[in-house]
Amino acid sequence: MIIGYARISDKSQEIGTQVEQLKKYGCQKIVQEVITGVAEDKKLNQLVEELEEGSTLVATRVDRLGRSALQVLQLAKRLKEKKIHLVVLDLGIDTRTLAGELVLTVMASISEWERKNNKEKQLRGIELAKKKGKHLGRKREWTKSGLEEALKEYLKGEKSVNQISDIYTIPRSTLYHYIKESGIKK
C-alpha cells in the first residue's frame, strides 16, 4: 500500500499542493497533519506503527518528516526495521536503493542547516529593524499624541487606568510602562 503524509506548520499555510502531489504519485491514502512549534508528529508516529511490511510512505519534502536530521534519520531507521519503503518526491529519494538512503541522509542534514540558517537571518533582520526604530509586531491601535493625552488624564487623577486605557485604546500594560518611564508619581 502507498500512503502519503502531508504536514504544514500552521493553519495559515496551504496543504493542498502537498496533497495534490501525493495523489499524482498514486497514494491510496493521505494522512494530513498541522504541527506548530515543537509539538510531536502524532499522526505520523501513529501511521508508522500501523504501516505493514512492504508498504511505502511518501512525503513531498524531507522537512515534512522531521525538524532535524536526527528526527528524519530515526524515522527512516524505524521504517527500514519494519521493511517499509520511504519516498521523498521533490528529490526523487527512494530508500529501496542504497543511493536513496545516502541522499536522504545528506538532504536531512541540509534541510536542518537551511532551517537554522533561515532562523538566523530572520533574527538578524529583526535586530536591524529594531536598530532602525521600526515597530515590529502587530500595528499599534494608539498614537503617540493619544498616549500623551492619556498621561495628562492620569495626572488629573479623575479616572482609573482601566478607564483611560479604554478611552484612548492603549493597553493597560503599555500605559503603566509609560507612566513608569515618565517618572510620574501620584
Give per-residue pLDDT as tens, 142-177.
Answer: 888 889 899 999 988 899 999 999 999 999 999 999
- State the residue range of the domain holding 18: 2-128
Helix axes 172-182, 144-156, angle to 10 degrees: 70
pLDDT digits (tens, 9 = 90+) for 46-96: 998 999 999 999 999 988 888 788 888 999 999 999 999 999 999 899 998
Indicate the pLDDT class of residue 184, thresholds 50, 70 and 90: confident
Within this chain, do residues 84 and 112 fall inside the same structural domain, yes or no?
Answer: yes
Residue 120 C-alpha cell reads as 538566523
DSSP character at residue 6? E
The answer to whether the beta carbons of residues 100 and 94 sit under 8 Å apart is yes
Three-state secondary structure readout of 95-158? CCCHHHHHHHHHHHHHHHHHHHHHHHHHHHHHHHHHHCCCCCCCCCCCCHHHHHHHHHHHHHCC
Within this chain, do residues 152 and 107 fall inside the same structural domain, yes or no?
Answer: no
The answer to whether the beta carbons of residues 85 and 79 sit under 8 Å apart is yes
37 pLDDT higher than 70: no
Tell whether the torsion through CA atoms of 19, 5, 87 and 114 is positive or negative.
positive
Kindly report whether the global pTM for this prediction surpasses the value 0.85.
no
Within this chain, do residues 118 and 156 fall inside the same structural domain, yes or no?
Answer: no
Within this chain, do residues 64 and 36 fall inside the same structural domain, yes or no?
Answer: yes
Residue for grid cell 501525493: 22
Within this chain, do residues 13 and 82 fall inside the same structural domain, yes or no?
Answer: yes
Give me the phi and psi of 36, to 5 degrees please.
-110, 150
Indicate the pLDDT class of residue 18, thresholds 50, 70 and 90: very high
**CATH no. for residue 174?**
1.10.10
Is residue 18 in a domain?
yes
Within this chain, do residues 124 and 148 fall inside the same structural domain, yes or no?
Answer: no
The answer to whether the beta carbons of residues 48 and 79 sit under 8 Å apart is yes
Rounded to the nearest integer, the mean pLDDT of the chain is 88
Rounded to an integer, what is the distance from CA 180 to the centroid of its chain? Answer: 36
Within this chain, do residues 14 and 43 fall inside the same structural domain, yes or no?
Answer: yes
Give the mean pLDDT of 16-40: 87
Share of the chain above pLDDT 70, in %: 96
The better pLDDT of the pair 37, 185 is held by 185
Indicate the pLDDT class of residue 133, thresholds 50, 70 and 90: confident
Within this chain, do residues 66 and 149 fall inside the same structural domain, yes or no?
Answer: no
Beta-sheet pairing, 29-34 with 56-59: unpaired
The better pLDDT of the pair 21, 45 is held by 21
